[in-house]
Each structure stands twice: as C-alpha cells, then as structure tokens.
Amino acid sequence: MTALDERRTATALPPRTFTALVVVIRDSVRSGLVRRLQILGAEAPLQATSVASARMLAVEHGPGALAVVDAHLPDGDGVQLATDLRRQGWSRTVVLGDGHDPQAVRAALAAGVNGFVVTPDAPIGPAGLRGSTAAAGRTPSAVHGLSAREIDVLRLVSQGRTNRDVAEALGLSALTVKSHLARIARKLGTGDRAEMVVIALRAGIID
C-alpha cells in the first residue's frame, strides 16, 4: 500500500466517537456545548439540568469520556456531582462557573475535576459545598491547630495533587500522607478534600 493509499484509507475511516454528559441549566449554553461536542465526535450527548437527572443518566448509560457540569444546580452542588462522576469512572469532568469566588475554583480543582471554565453569563449562587461548614462561612477553630506538615499536605492537595504526588513532593510515603489527611479530617470535621481546602483557604493558612 502506498503512502497515498494509506492517507485515503485513514480519511475514509469514521471519526472516533465518545460519550459525553452536559449538565447545564441555561438552554443556550447547553445547546451550544452539545453542538460543539458533536463536532468533536460525541455521539448524541446526554443532557440534564439537575443533579438528580444527571445521576440517573450516568447510571443508565455508564461511565463516559467527558462530563461538563454547572457549578451551581437547582438541587445540589455541581462540583460534588463532577467529583462523584469522576469516582464512577467518567474520564474527564469540567465545571462551569462565574469565577467570582477563587476559593470555589480552587475547591473544584482540588476535588479532582480536570478543569474550571469561567463563563461570563453563569448564574451567581452560593459558592462551595452547600450545607457544609465551609459553605456556611464557619471556620473550625481547630484549623489553626494544624501542624506545619499538615499545612504542607493541604497546600499540595489544594493544587489538585494526588496522595502519591504529595508523598513524592514531601519525601514521604503514601501511607504517611494518608495518615496526615486522616488527622486533618478529624481536626476539621470533614473528610472531603475539597471542603478541607476551602476551610484552610478561608482561615488564611494556605493561599
């Protein structure tokens, strides 16, 4: 087969397709995203406007390649939804938000999402994790009792690092990092990495 024949054969092959989920409230933004994803190869992107409907679609259709989620949804927190989808096997998750709260952006990245896209016309709502201590603006006094090493761990977690990454950066074992995170969780009253980061940011112990 000549190089020209190879190029023709490659051109004739159908484009690679993937499964995408778009969880966006605004019709215009959602439809625009769907069109762009279809151009990129998404086959009939799944669409939802709430946490509940998104979870149903995710279970029904199984893990996909990409989920694009509004930060604030009418029945829950979009960042938490994106985090849960990652845990369920969705390869990549992107959160859309207004970007007025840098702590919410940092929390989303710390929670493991692949990106936070600032949209000028995004609805402005309560930032952070709803119903949580951090969302209510209350900072546990124990946050100031964190050790220097625990603060180092939190600072790296806030950058979206995994336990293995943190261990390598600090010259520790992954088990030691896990132990540090467990102690931080007991002190702050939460085991959620994103909420830990929000609490630490509000207390000013990391930036």
Q: Mind listing the domains of the chain with CATH numbers?
A: 11-118 (3.40.50.2300), 141-203 (1.10.10.10)
pLDDT in tens, the chain (207 residues): 333 343 443 444 334 678 899 999 988 889 989 998 888 888 889 999 999 999 999 999 988 889 999 988 888 888 889 989 988 999 888 888 765 566 667 777 776 777 777 665 544 343 333 334 444 445 667 888 899 999 999 888 887 788 899 999 999 999 999 999 999 988 888 887 777 877 787 778 887
Question: Contact at 8 Å (CB) between 101 and 92?
Answer: no
The span from the CA of 146 to the CA of 184, in Å, is 7
Question: Contact at 8 Å (CB) between 94 and 68?
Answer: yes
Instruction: Output the pLDDT for position 197.
Output: 78
Instruction: Output the pLDDT for position 142.
Output: 80
Token digits for 16? 């690679």
Rg (CA), the chain: 20
Question: Contact at 8 Å (CB) between 37 and 66?
Answer: yes
Instruction: Output the pLDDT for position 195.
Output: 74
Kindly tell me the sign of the dihedral angle through the C-alpha atoms of 139, 83, 185, 150. negative
Helix H or strand E encompassing 70: strand 66-70
The span from the CA of 106 to the CA of 97, in Å, is 12
Place of tokens 């088990």: 175
> What is the bridge-based pairing of β-strands 92-97 and 66-70?
parallel
Instruction: Output the pLDDT for position 50.
Output: 93
Instruction: Output the pLDDT for position 147.
Output: 92
Token digits for 50? 């709430």
Classify residue 154 by burial, with Cβ atoms within 10 Å: 0-12, 13-18, 19+.
buried
Question: Contact at 8 Å (CB) between 64 and 94?
Answer: no
pTM: 0.53
